[in-house]
Amino acid sequence: MNPAVVAGFVLAILLEVALPFALGFWAEWKLQVGWRLFAYGALVFAVAQLMLRLPLVSLLGRQLNITAESGAPLVLSWTAFLAATAALAEEGGRYLGYRFLFRGQPRDWNHAIMYGLGHGALESVILVGLPTALTLANILTIPGLDPTTMGLTTEQAQQLARAKEEIGALQFWMPLAGAFERLLMLFFQTAMAVLVVQVFARQEWRWLGYALGLRFLVELVSPLTANYGSVVLAEGFLAVVTAVVVYWGWKLRPRPQPQESDRRSRRRRAKGGMRREKRNA
């Protein structure tokens, strides 16, 4: 087994599983917010996606059996349906979490950051981190299996041989591609939590519309670009949208109060005066 590939998988797992919690510790220390909000975000994702949307769309997908050979109109319609339900589940669920779970908790920028991190953390761990860990376990064990001592049938032995070939073709960067996408989605989820909280902070419903529209756009364009263009283009699109949304969320952060700004200005002027006096002395 190529040690570089194993190192790539280990690094990917750390990014997908450990990084969201590391950012949670940062938010607790820097923003002075509690882990309860992190748990709220994880709970919203678990209910909205894992318990409700994913089982329902999976059942409907098996009934409809839409594939790439079904024709462009059907594929586009199905992708748009998946994008719309994802937007409603993710951002609608996020709004309901603010509405009912945040009673007694401030609905502000700092709390939104921790809330969004919890949402993105569970998504990263369940959908990507655990499957990546399972894949690593397979690539560590399958190359050492001997079909002659396992009593496999001819077909099973051929399947094992193909699995060994696929493992041998793995490159260091392959697991990191998935980790990069999860990193983007973690920041995207956190920024979207900042957008949705503006419904309460500014008392304006348009912010929920912004969040629903952006989520629908990402969930529609990314899979279509990956299927009909390339995965690189899809990741590039996601990176651009994430950068825009993160910048937007950053601009929405609370500004220092005028009194605080005045005190800082006075301190800077006082320090500048002391340095001038020292130079003159």
Total number of domains constituting the chain: 1
Q: What's the rounded Cα separation, in Å, for the pair 15 and 186?
A: 10
What confidence score (pLDDT) does residue 250 get? Answer: 96
Identity of residue 146: D
Residue 272 belongs to some domain of the structure: no
pLDDT in tens, 149-160: 777 777 878 888
Choose from 75-89, 131-145, 161-175 the range with maximum mean pLDDT.
Answer: 75-89
Mean pLDDT of 109-125: 97
Indicate if the pLDDT at residue 275 is higher than 80.
no
pLDDT value of residue 270: 57
Assigned domain for 162 exists: yes
Q: Is residue 277 part of a domain?
A: no
Residue 95 lies inside a defined structural domain of this protein:
yes
What is the token pair recorded at 7? 């190192």
Classify residue 19: in a domain, yes or no: yes
CA gap 74, 79 in Å, rounded: 8
The total number of residues written for the chain in this structure: 281
Q: Answer whether residue 269 is part of any domain.
A: no
What's the mean pLDDT in 117-135?
A: 95
Task: Answer with the residue of higher pLDDT: 280 or 205.
Answer: 205
Predicted confidence at residue 213, as pLDDT, reads 97
Q: For 23-33, how does the pLDDT look when each residue is reduced to its tens digit (9 = 90+)?
A: 999 999 999 99
214-265: per-residue pLDDT in tens? 999 999 999 999 988 888 999 999 999 999 999 999 999 987 666 555 555 5
The answer to whether residue 275 is domain-embedded is no
Helices (H), the chain: 3-13, 19-31, 35-45, 54-64, 72-87, 93-96, 109-124, 130-141, 147-150, 154-168, 174-201, 206-228, 231-251, 258-280
- Region 173-198: mean pLDDT is 94
**What single-letter amino acid sits at 47?**
V
* Average confidence score pLDDT of the chain: 89
* Residue 248 contacts residue 195 (beta carbons within 8 Å): yes
What residue numbers bound the domain in which 152 lies? 3-254
Higher pLDDT, 72 or 224: 224
Find all residues with CB under 8 Å of 118, minimum gap 6, and list them: 24, 37, 38, 39, 40, 41, 42, 43, 45
Residue 61's contacts (CB-CB under 8 Å, 6 or more residues apart) are: 78
Q: Output the pLDDT for position 70.
A: 77
Q: What is the pLDDT of residue 64?
A: 87
Asked if residue 90 belongs to a domain, the reply is: yes
Torsion-angle region of 71 (φ positive above 0: left; ψ -120 to 50: alpha; else: beta): left
